[in-house]
Structure 1
Amino acid sequence: MLRKSPFLLVGMLLLASCATAPPAASGLAPTPTPTAAPAKAAAATAPRQPGPSAPPAFDQARDHNPLNKLSKAKTLSCSGTPAVKVRKWDTMKRYLTAVKGCLDRFWKREFARAGLRYTPPGATFVRKAPARFCGLEWGKNAGGMYCDLAGLKEDKRFTVVVRPDDVWPEMRIDLAILTAHEYGHHVQKMSGYMSYIDKAFWQADKKGRKAADLVNRRSELQTECFAGVALGALYDSMFPSRAPWDDYRAYTARWDQEASWDRSHGLPRTQVTWMERGWKAGTTGACDTWHAKSSAVK
């Protein structure tokens, strides 16, 4: 990899498809007809439909990504998510597992529209942060992490921590956003953005901490925007009103976040701004943090 040290994408707590079976065989062979051979020949010459493509890489992934050319995503139902009961950890785990399944369906659909290959990430929801994840120590204050290190068992997986104080019905929006954010790093991976991020970190490493922090903020705010794209399409089927989202926006804007987290992830109000941008636009094309002025990703 281009990075001198493993790059672990860190998230924060602020924030099925159906297939029809083929017809049953009758056990009777059809009577041959004079037209059978020409029909087979015609079928053999029928043009093949192109399969999904590999993602672009490096600057092409940033500047000419097929995902970014899509029209606004249509809504997708995520109804029927399990209820969350106070202090019942398993109920929140079931809820977030259902949300992750909805995100799988949403992003599978969007990648298919873009003609790109897609496989969903693995996910684990835990009560307590692990000591190590993806070969490194768990990040300080991290509510979740995504792993992008080939060869490790955690590769293309993310982990979200659901602490005891998080197990309340009112915390569904926070944890759904966190889950969608970590999922957004997988979208970066599958769409080719991660190769560009590797390159950007390699270049920033020569310039010092400030440059590396800027790259990290651009990456994290892009995934915040990706979370907005997905949740904007799913929200109305998940929540009965806009109240949970409005409350989230309000208290996030007042959150007194420590400076080190601001440097790596951006100010709380900046995170909400990028999430809302993706939410309203409904397409990853609105999530271009890489060409945005540094003042827009502070």
Structure 2
Amino acid sequence: MTFNDNSRLDSSKVSKRGRNAAIGGGSVVVVVGLFILSQVLGVDLTGLAGGGQQASQPEETLSCTTGADANASVDCLMVGAATSLDVYWADAATQLGVAYRSPADFVLFEQSTSTGCGQASSATGPFYCPPDETLYVDTSFFDELRTRFGASGGTLSQMYVVAHEWGHHIQQLTGILSNTDHSLTGPASDSVRTELQADCYAGAWVGAASTIEDENGVTYLEPVTQQQIADALNAASVIGDDRIQQQSTGEVNSETWTHGSSESRQRWFETGLSNGPQGCDTFSIDGSQL
């Protein structure tokens, strides 16, 4: 999607950290997100080791004030996405019967960073950490989507990733993350239902994005095009469990799925796009309908 050049962004929504190294160990805490490399390697990264003493990290102040900035750099695109998502959910969360609060932070990092869930690396993929209510993204992941997984790319595919992680923050507010069992796997597991709902929430934001206005009444984003939607659907497809398993091992084992098939991820994104957040109940339906 393309930002209107004169829309006003809020850089305080995003922080950027330099490189960091862990200097201590600690507990394992559940996090939620894409975890692309964990699926490729067949290991479980839903818990991050670390959580002990961590080296301090310098933070860079992002100077992203307009939509033109968002159209010019990926860091500012993240600021634009965060600004729009925050305004959207401040209203849309009421449709789900919850009081909205913004994520505590949205952190861009390089290679590794300390988090409320322990030490994270780029290999983990973008994720949301419930204990500190923060999104973490190494933007080099977007290059991985194209070069390793064959995504078509485009700005909406990048913002889809952010919107998906923001969806996990909404699940934190609704209680989904604390009231479901994320230790189980399979096409109808709570893990898959959680991820598909986050995809649906991402689609709900896209469906409303071109109507969301800044404080001056200027819409943040121009109307979404069919090609941009195709890019987002393509990104959802290439990170489906079946697609990643087939690509990495040549076999598909649905009983190990944690995020859902390519078809399911696309379908639930489209459900949110058409029906808004009220249409994103992935927990009350039969598993065969996922």
| TM-score, structure 1 as length reference | 0.59
Rg comparison, structure with higher value? 1
The SS at the match of 1:193 is coil
Q: Does 1:123 align with 2:106?
A: yes
CA distance in 1, matches of 2:179, 2:114: 26
The partner residue of 1:221 within 184, 188, 196 is 196
Shift of 1:177: 0.3
Shift of 1:246: 1.9
Q: Does 1:9 align with 2:32?
A: yes
The partner residue of 1:162 within 139, 161, 167 is 139
CA distance in 1, matches of 2:236, 2:177: 28
Assess, with a 3 A threshold, how the Cα gap between structure 1 residues 139 and 211 changes in structure 2: closer, same or farther: farther
CA distance in 1, matches of 2:82, 2:178: 24
| TM-score, structure 2 as length reference | 0.61
**Quick check: 1:12–1:178 contact (8 Å CA) kept in 2?**
no
Q: Does 1:249 align with 2:233?
A: yes
Q: Which residue of 2 aligns with 1:179?
A: 162
Listed one character per residue, the Cα deviations across residues 178-205 of structure 1 (whole Å, up to 9, x for unaligned) are: 00000001101112323322xx34xxx6
Q: Which residue of 2 aligns with 1:44?
A: none
Shift of 1:84: 4.1
Assess, with a 3 A threshold, how the Cα gap between structure 1 residues 248 and 143 changes in structure 2: closer, same or farther: same
Matches within 5 A, 1:3-42: 6-11=29-34
Q: Which residue of 1 aligns with 2:127?
A: 145
The partner residue of 1:80 within 43, 61, 67 is 67
CA distance in 1, matches of 2:118, 2:187: 18
- 2:138 alignment partner AA: V
Assess, with a 3 A threshold, how the Cα gap between structure 1 residues 213 and 164 changes in structure 2: closer, same or farther: closer
Shift of 1:5: 6.3
Q: Which residue of 2 aligns with 1:267?
A: 261
CA distance in 2, matches of 1:114, 1:250: 28
- 2:92 alignment partner AA: E
Aligned residues: 209
**Quick check: 2:233–2:269 contact (8 Å CA) kept in 1?**
no
Structure 1: tracts of 5 or more residues without a match: 14-78, 86-90, 150-154
Assess, with a 3 A threshold, how the Cα gap between structure 1 residues 254 and 176 changes in structure 2: closer, same or farther: closer
RMSD: 3.5
Shift of 1:118: 1.9
**Quick check: 1:170–1:244 contact (8 Å CA) kept in 2?**
no
Structure 2: tracts of 5 or more residues without a match: 1-26, 37-65, 147-151, 212-220, 246-251
Assess, with a 3 A threshold, how the Cα gap between structure 1 residues 124 and 294 changes in structure 2: closer, same or farther: same
- Structure with more relative contact order (C-alpha pairs < 8 Å, separation 6 or more): 1
CA distance in 1, matches of 2:282, 2:116: 26
- 1:104 alignment partner AA: D
Shift of 1:265: 0.4
> Aligned residues: percent identity?
21
CA distance in 2, matches of 1:235, 1:296: 30
Matches within 5 A, 1:63-78: none
- 2:164 alignment partner AA: H
Shift of 1:276: 0.6
Q: Choose between structure 1 and 2: higher helix proportion.
A: 1
CA distance in 2, matches of 1:194, 1:108: 19
**Quick check: 1:116–1:191 contact (8 Å CA) kept in 2?**
yes
Q: Does 1:281 align with 2:268?
A: no
